[in-house]
Amino acid sequence: MPPKVAGKKGEKKAAPTRAGKKSTAGSSQKKAGPSASKDTKDVTDKLANLTTAEPPKPVIMEIELKDLAAVLKDDDGKIKSTGKWPMIVDGGGRAAVFLRYQGGNCLDAISPADMQAESIRKRLIGSIRYGNNFTLDFGDSDMFNSCKDRFDEINKDLMNDVLDKSILQKYEYLITDEDGPDYEKDKFLPHVTCNFQFIILSKIDPAQELGNKFCIIKIKE
């Protein structure tokens, strides 16, 4: 029988290791749980909705020319419910003749005389004072930015004040001493000024950005 070999005193046997188990630097890190994956998916879905959502469409009404007066009178409140002023689109140009005979103030947006700052100011404050229509006729061109520049020469952000209708409370900055006693503040009666309407007249369909600012009334051919 061969002699037993004694181990050195104090020497420890190596502890057995499980097969396939390795110690790594990242073993202490926790794996992302299911909630993290769900949050990522939610963010992705929201971004997808933002990129695929359709932009708002303009409010459009189609009518016969003979109905225009009644529609603008707005007894049923359809225009008022949009919170916007009307934009009349009439390729035939008949609405322009109609509106000029209806009274109020109608300015030709391509006329240098009509687009003078003082001409705009006088007609705008007059339309508010007497509760009349104030119409800008664009013809067959998009004249909005040009008109906005002319308006803002009178007062910064005048066009925005008109579009959001706050001009009906802020109109005093349009009044000058030369306007006389008929334009003193106590002459602006709420039951009269509430009849004021700002109207855009055009022979062509507006671009979507412009159309979104108005309630579009299309005259049937």
| pLDDT tens digit sequence for 179-214 | 999 999 999 999 999 999 999 999 999 999 999 999
Instruction: State which of 11-20, 25-34, 95-104 shows the largest mean pLDDT.
Output: 95-104
> Closest Cα to residue 89, out of 70, 108, 61?
61
The DSSP bridge partners found for residue 215 are 59, 86
Q: Are 108 and 114 in contact (CB under 8 A)?
A: yes
Mean pLDDT for the stretch of residues 9-17: 48
**pTM for the structure as a whole:** 0.74
